[in-house]
A and B are shown apart, each in its own frame.
Chain A
Amino acid sequence: MFRSKRSRLVLILVAITAFAALGLVACEEEEEAEIGTVNVLGIWGDEELVSFEAMADPWETDTGGSMAFTGTRDITTVLTTRVEGGDPPDVAIPAEVGRFQQFAGEGKLTPLSACEGLEDAVRDNYPQGFIDLGTVDGVLYGFFMKADTKGTVWYNPGFFADNGYEPLTVDSTFADLVALSDQILADGTPPWSVGVESGEASGWAGTDWIQQILLNEAGGAVYDGVIDGSIPFTDSRAKDAWEKFGQIALTEGYTVQEGAEGINATNFINSTYPPFESPPEAAMVYLGGFASGFITDQFPDAVAGEDFDFFPFPGGGVTGGANIVYAFNDDETTCSFLNYLASAEAQRVWVGRGGFTSVNSQVSLDSYPDAVSRAQAEQLSGAEVFRFDLDDAIGGALQLAFFDGVTQYLANPDDLDSILSGIEAAR
């Protein structure tokens, strides 16, 4: 009895070792082939991952290569660990550029020019703002895909029409936004739904408010100054943006979450639901273009443009985020995949599936599946002033301090000055 158990165990061990060895051999053989497997580290899961795989399908068919995707929301951690451990992925597609700049500065990344035709394709078809963001010390290392406008105030068109509320336009001002809020409040509905809970990153939804107000009220130069450090968070213009955010979030009766405690405790995804309940529990929610995905997940019958729509955040300026694509080597496989990803052909695949806004100028507006997603693409490409997401642009400790500043400010608005100098201390 013992003997047979033991010999079976040995057999299993031998089998495992043999399989592992085979696997190793198989991997090595693949590396030697011309187009092999490209390892991609990104943040997508669920529906988004299915769309990304659909996007990679034509490349796999055409080249005979394959794409192996690892998705994690904790991408900064995983990426840092893998780079530190000498085992970076071939391609990384995170949302934050702070760590990208660090890697590029340390010489860990491959310039786009190392892949034939890639740098030219990107320079020809991508907006200058995004090219600048992908450039470190004069060298272009990354390009952007799957952009998201953050200039979108979501509302319920039916509810607005029934009560005679007018959606705002690009020409509106922050004062108009407050006036609209007061009007809605006077009629008995909380004008806003705000939620900033997001686990370890709690507060980022509030930073979107602040950056959007900062860009509109103080202008692009001040916005850039806050990013590069020439203008501190303690500057009066930055402080003004915080206070205006506070005016929305903390004015009595303005939020369905009933103020600071509820806002800090409400998850950002859940915060998108109240305006679209029947009857609506709030009138508006400000969150990036990706919010349409949360709304349609929760209300599968909701029709874009009829049951939910957005108006531009008043002031004309638009902030937005995007996923940056960069590579750690210039293998033939990696280059082939990057060239494909950067192309309009690839991006049209995901654009057509919904939930993807392209910054590639070759992707025409007709490619978008509905009016709302088309309007988002239009807002991004047609913005008077566009700026990349403030906290994603600064990254690192300062980004986390910014997040924490928001949750602390909501809880203790009187401490704003010390909170702002606390954020600046993390720079």
Chain B
Amino acid sequence: MAYTLFFVASAAILFSVLYWSVTRELTQELEAGIEEDMRPLVTAYSEGRLQRLVEAVRERAQAARPGETFILLQTVNRAVLAGNIISLPPFTGWRELVLGGVKNEGEDIDRHETVLALGVQLDSAFLLVGRNLRRVKEIQELLLRSLAWTLAVTIVLAIAGGAALGRGALRRIEAINRAFQEIVDGNLSRRVPTRGTRDEMDRLATNINFILDRIEQLIVNLQQVTNDIAHDLRTPLGRLRQGLESARLKGSSIEEYQAAIDGAIEKTDTILDTFAALLRIAQIESKARRGRFTVVDLSEVSNRIIEAYESVMDDAGQSLSGNIAPGIQVPGDKDLLTQMLANLVENATRHCPAGAKVMVTLTNETAPILTVADTGPGIPTNSREAILRRFYRLEDSRTTPGSGLGLALVKAIADLHNATLTLSDNGPGLRVSLRFPAATDR
């Protein structure tokens, strides 16, 4: 509605200016013409008095186009001396007059015409020269009609256009509202429709969808953590309680109680470890840590891990070797990348029998690729996806220590760094590859 008013007001102002300037221009032209007619007559009077003037007026009156130029010379008491109109009450200066009985050129009818006239008092005589204002009035009328039409069309267009525009926007807002309502009702994967037009509404819809993606991710994340905690912490907590209860019932010596307490502390530590790992994964998955990324020397991290685990694996009858290209850097979190590689190496040593070989490779041909390959039992193809989930453990590895969170943490850290994690067959064994974004893609 406001738009409609605005359009109408602008059109009206535009026309007023046009009307005013056209009228002024035409009137000035007429005035100039009248003054031009008047000048020789006044000169005639000053040269030859009334006698000369009467002649001049007669000549002018005869030459004048009927209905266009009006001329009158009369005495003060309104006796016409010469001219083409009837006597008038004398005046001086500019005046608009309405004259009756005017015959236009080539017409027989008498008309009333509006005339712009200049009156001059010459001693006892009154001289008038006027021009018909008809053309000016006609143009003014034409302008007013155009204005009326334009305003009418503007109002119609503004109202119709505004309504169409408003309905379009309203429809799309309504679509967003419907999508929100569905999301509130529990359909978290619902998204706001987009048209791909890249206009403001579409960009808004795209951004809303982006936020919805994040919210869905966070909610799924939260549910996952809650489920994990409920599911996997209940068992060890139950065992802890059982241990304490049986010590309370059966304990008879200080030593037995101490052993029970040591056992309880150990179990509690395991629970706390699991809890910390879960929270850590959840936090990493929230991606808040990207703000702290620095340039990390992946080669240095790899060499440090190899140095740390070489002798550990040596003692376990396994071997760890590395082939690390120097000076490979990625943007990232050094602590997390260290932990990620440590987890991969620990995972390999834990699941491989004595005699196995573990190889850490870091190359940078098209992009930095970090690989940990072992010669152990490997992972069946159909389990490779599942193994990255929290608490997932292959049936035959239930007996080995570990929280079942190691690879889930690796996956979370890889995702945080936009690195692609691939599990493949090392023939025999497992090969875990992490492909970091190439320097050109960052």
A binds B: no
